[in-house]
A and B are shown apart, each in its own frame.
Chain A
Amino acid sequence: GEDVEQSLFLSVREGDSSVINCTYTDSSSTYLYWYKQEPGAGLQLLTYIFSNMDMKQDQRLTVLLNKKDKHLSLRIADTQTGDSAIYFCAERTPGNTGKLIFGQGTTLQVKP
């Protein structure tokens, strides 16, 4: 079945790089996404990657996709305290439901 897994917690020092990992099971997923959720707020779309791409870079964010291993990662360069949040990866299921399957979320703690 469909499943997306993430580690629950990551702690880094300000200025370091953060790497958040995600694995998914549905090899027919077409798009994969990264969302950020700050306390008391909704989910903010950070970036996405199409399944035929290996990498996508957007300013401080780098997404790597290993389709063979069904592994997705989000690298945040020069992590700032404002990056502290919960990060969700999500895959879009094929078909017309438009349903996103979310991971449990990774809490990123950035220490000054």
Chain B
Amino acid sequence: EAQVTQNPRYLITVTGKKLTVTCSQNMNHEYMSWYRQDPGLGLRQIYYSMNVEVTDKGDVPEGYKVSRKEKRNFPLILESPSPNQTSLYFCASSLSTGPYEQYFGPGTRLTVT
């Protein structure tokens, strides 16, 4: 089954404790992206990757890191999480040709206390 998976689905952590949210897709998509969803703000792009070893900042990259060592994986790293990073996070992937249909993972709900 074609899908985007994320782990963990739920995470409660404390300020400053490094964490990684994993994202994996099995569709051989070149493009992958991370979004965060906040009430009243909608979905905002954090980072994206056009292909292996190619990453770039989205609209809200502060406090996040990513890497793309393999085509299928695109982990999101929070080196020192803060409470303002409490949010619902989505990973997405697509081909790099039209219609660029982005497929989303199930989401990771992160709470930083």
Partner of B106 from the list A35, A42, A98, A105 (CB cut-off 8 Å) is: A42
Residues on A lying within 8 angstroms of B by beta carbon are 30-31, 33, 35, 41-45, 48, 50, 88, 92, 96-100, 102-105
Q: List the 5 closest A-B pairs by CB distance, nearest first.
A: A43-B104, A42-B104, A42-B106, A102-B43, A102-B42
Kindly list chain B residues whose C-beta atoms are within 8 Å of the C-beta of A31: 98-100
- Chain B residue at minimum C-beta to C-beta distance from A41: B106
**Is A98 touching B33 in the complex (CB atoms < 8 A)?**
yes
Residues on B lying within 8 angstroms of A by beta carbon are 4, 31, 33, 40, 42-43, 45, 48, 50, 56, 58-59, 90, 92, 94, 96, 98-107
**Is B99 touching A100 in the complex (CB atoms < 8 A)?**
no
7 A-B pairs within 8 Å (CB atoms) are namely A42-B90, A45-B102, A88-B42, A96-B50, A98-B50, A103-B42, A104-B42
**CB of B91 to closest CB in A, whole Å:** 9
